């Protein structure tokens, strides 16, 4: 079993660290040192994951990457609430279709009203983890589903080469890029499977 701490409270995180005998993973989290939101990990948590041989995978959602972005999103949500509600009411389909209609409005309005966040900010989080605990404890945690806003230059899996380019531009070598783009997670999975 691979234990994931990306959606747990701080108390639960520490309970897991103090209980688990195997390395753990944060499948889609960011760094509180850069964007101070509860979902992200603080430096002590990142060190604890690395000390146990685990991996922190950085997600692509701007709310967890860009300082202040989530507050701006909340403001936009208040401004567009009636548009979102109308889209839901106008949709005659199932509840799932109504959600799709609401999310479409949010996606369109967020694109117009919120500041762009790029792959550069994503790599800032990865850099922070590498400086803190080393190259063997960082990975990719995209989390494309369920979000209405993506990075300006990394909106779909087709854009993953922009992440590779940014890592190389910042001086990571090919071996280090391979670790970040999946090697570290594969190592962790193999270790857990033993």
Complete DSSP assignment for 91-148: --S-HHHHHHHHHHHHHHHHHHHS----HHHHHHHHHHHHHHH-GGGEEE----TT-S
Local structure of 183: helix, strand or coil: helix
pLDDT at 154: 87
**Fold of domain 10-66+117-193:** TIM Barrel (3.20.20)
Q: Is 47 exposed, middle or buried (0-12, 13-18, 19+ CB in 10 A)?
A: middle
pLDDT at 149: 83
- Write out residues in the chain with pLDDT < 70, as ranges: none
* pTM, rounded to two decimals: 0.90
Domain map (residue ranges) of the chain: 10-66+117-193, 69-113
pLDDT at 156: 86
pLDDT at 143: 76
List, for residues 21-50, the tens digit of each pLDDT value: 999 999 999 999 999 998 899 999 999 999
pLDDT at 30: 96
């Amino acid at each position: 079993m691979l234990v994931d701490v990306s959606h747990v409270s701080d108390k639960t995180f520490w309970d897991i660290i103090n209980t688990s005998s195997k390395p753990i993973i944060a499948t889609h989290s960011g760094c509180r040192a850069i964007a101070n939101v509860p979902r992200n990990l603080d430096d002590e948590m990142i060190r604890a994951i690395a000390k146990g041989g685990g991996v922190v995978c950085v997600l692509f959602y701007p709310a967890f990457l860009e300082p202040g972005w989530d507050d701006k999103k909340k403001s936009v949500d208040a401004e567009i609430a009636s548009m979102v509600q109308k889209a839901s009411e106008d949709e005659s389909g199932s509840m799932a279709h109504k959600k799709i209609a609401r999310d479409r409005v949010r996606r369109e309005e967020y694109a117009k009203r919120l500041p762009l966040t790029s792959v550069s900010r994503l790599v800032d989080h990865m850099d922070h983890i590498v400086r803190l605990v080393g190259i063997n404890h960082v990975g990719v945690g995209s989390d494309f589903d369920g979000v209405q806003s993506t990075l300006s230059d990394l909106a779909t899996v087709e854009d993953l080469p922009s992440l590779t380019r940014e890592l190389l531009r910042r001086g990571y070598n090919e071996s280090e890029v391979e670790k970040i783009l999946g090697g570290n997670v594969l190592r962790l999975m193999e270790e857990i499977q033993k």
